[in-house]
Amino acid sequence: MKLIQRLGYYLGGFSIGLIVLAFFLNGKKVSCDYGPTARVLKNINSKKIQYQNINDSTIVNHLLNHGDVDFSKSEPRKEPCAIFYIEGKYHDDMVYLIIQNCDSVASVTDLKIVQ
């Protein structure tokens, strides 16, 4: 079998596999959260969120969807609840969020907006 034929069979099978995969995953909420920041934010978003002395939950929700976890300032192994420092931009302001991540609930403890 010539190289061009093998390449044709490979590309044909690969394209059929992509079509089948797209068919099975179409319409499902499937995400690939491999990075540590994505896993932490997904874990926090899957829990009930309590707001302690925070008036604007819109900023908190924006940061939990688009923010970055600063692991150098966080305490992920603290018992009984891990503490995460999340930062990001909301409009043109830098926003810093400290959230306490327990087993069944996540509590927002501090929110700072720096202009």
Give the integer Cα–Cα distance in Å for 16 and 95.
46
Indicate whether 27 pLDDT > 80.
no
> What is the mean pLDDT of the segment spanning 44-54?
84
Range 106-112 average pLDDT: 87
Same domain, 61 and 106: yes
What's the rounded Cα separation, in Å, for the pair 60 and 69?
13
Residues 110 and 54 in one domain: yes
Question: How far is residue 111's CA from residue 62's CA, in Å, rounded to a whole number?
Answer: 12
Residues 25 and 57 occupy one common structural domain: no
- Range of 91's domain? 36-114
Per the structure, the count of domains in the chain is: 2
User: Looking at the structure, do residues 6 and 44 belong to the same domain, yes or no?
Assistant: no
The predicted model scores a pTM of: 0.70
Are residue 44 and residue 92 in the same domain, yes or no? yes
What pLDDT was estimated at residue 30? 65
Q: Give bridge partners of residue 112 from the DSSP assignment.
A: 96
Question: Strands 105-114, 93-101: parallel, antiparallel or unpaired by DSSP?
Answer: antiparallel
Percent of the chain with pLDDT over 90: 25
Q: Are residues 24 and 45 in the same domain?
A: no
Separation CA 42–CA 86 (nearest Å):
13
Same-domain status, 44 and 86: yes
* Alpha carbons within 13 A on the beta-carbon side of 103: 2
